[in-house]
Amino acid sequence: MPRGIRGELRGWWGRGRVLAAAHPLLVDIGVALLVQGAMTMPFLVPRAPGLPPATWAAYGLSTLTVVPLVWRRRAPLAVLFAMLGTNLLYRLTVDGPGQPLPYTGLVVTYTIAALAGPIQRLLTGLVLVVAVPAGVWLNTRSARELTFSVFVFAAAYVFGRLTDARQRAHRVEAQQAAARERARIAREMHDILSHAVSLMIVQAEAGPVAVRSAPERAVAAFDAISATGRDAMAQLRDMLGVLRDGADEPGSAAPREPQPGLAALPGLLDRVRGSGLDVTYRAVGDVRPVPEGVGATVFRVVQEALTNTLKHADARAVRVELSYGKGELGVLVIDDGKGPRGVSRRGGHGLAGMRERAAAHGGSAVTGPGADGRGFEVRVRIPVPHAAAAGR
């Protein structure tokens, strides 16, 4: 089948599932109409010579066995007993055409197996143990019909249980996906707010001193606070805009801008330098483009490491280094601050977020005191194919 047709069919199937989930009553009415169509066919086929012709009364009574299917989700047991009663009435009062399959009974059995609780399923099984042999006795009284009836009802029940298991699996997958998305949003919010607030605090604390000794530095500090706040607000608006479900409202479509990546690192480092921290940066190896997701992860890792340095290290200098190796990208952020004394105060959500971000790309993150026991370092390694795939 051509790819375009397959895509179109998948689109129709997806829209049909959405419609079915939103309007289950319409689905039940459709099922009832489909069953009614199947049960109408024997009335349209001429009956064998010697048998009385099918009557409108028989057709009306057969329709009465189908109508309860409209309520099969809301009251499955009541529909089961209504179906048994109308079928028994049909057998005993009219000489209408027989059906090749017990359509209504199979639909109700499937529905109870898929939607009902264990007590209702047990009660249904007990009822069918009595009703199926009784129906065979009223019809042909043959072992062949009994075997066939047991098989089709068992198959309907099994299909119902499989549907229930599949729906449960889908719900678990949806819950897990929602939990992963919540964790991702929490990491983004933490990184944006923690970095911005830390810079603003550092600048604000230096402001009063600068006002008395160097007014021009005070103006620069206030400008930095303002710029940091605006940048944080812009990133938060972008993130909340993606989450906001208002794309169908005029003028409310949220922007879909990419996450900050390697190109945004110089601006990040300049903002941190504005706080008074001496930040050096270099890239070594075969510098090349990286995928957007990797670039965003590197930016957030460096941002969180610098935020921790500002908040906890009491450092004067920090070094940021990107190492482009064969098949991987390495990130090193190391400061000259308190080192081991500050480690315990830097083991919160930020470091866990670094490890989660690196692991999402198949990489790793290691944090701890510097090689000589001084300062604190963050080392992250992320696999990156050597062939540039930045646009993928």
Which pLDDT score, from 0 to 100, does residue 246 have?
Answer: 46
pLDDT exceeds 50 at position 251 = no
E strand or H helix at 265, and its extent? helix 265-273
- The full set of domain ranges for the chain reads 3-141, 261-392
Calpha distance 381→297 (Å, rounded): 11
pLDDT exceeds 90 at position 226 = no
Which pLDDT score, from 0 to 100, does residue 190 have?
Answer: 74
Do 348 and 337 touch, CB atoms closer than 8 A?
no
Which tens digit of pLDDT belongs to each residue from 90-109? 888 887 888 888 899 999 99
Do 345 and 351 touch, CB atoms closer than 8 A?
no
Mean of per-residue pLDDT scores for the chain: 81
Range with lowest mean pLDDT among 18-32, 184-198, 332-346: 332-346
CATH class of the domain at 261-392: alpha beta
Do 32 and 71 touch, CB atoms closer than 8 A?
no
pLDDT exceeds 50 at position 157 = yes
pLDDT exceeds 70 at position 217 = no
Residue 306 identity (one-letter amino acid): L
Please list, in sequence order, all residues whose beta carbon lies within 8 angstroms of the beta carbon of residue 161, skipping any fewer than 6 positions away: 113, 114
Which pLDDT score, from 0 to 100, does residue 389 have?
Answer: 45
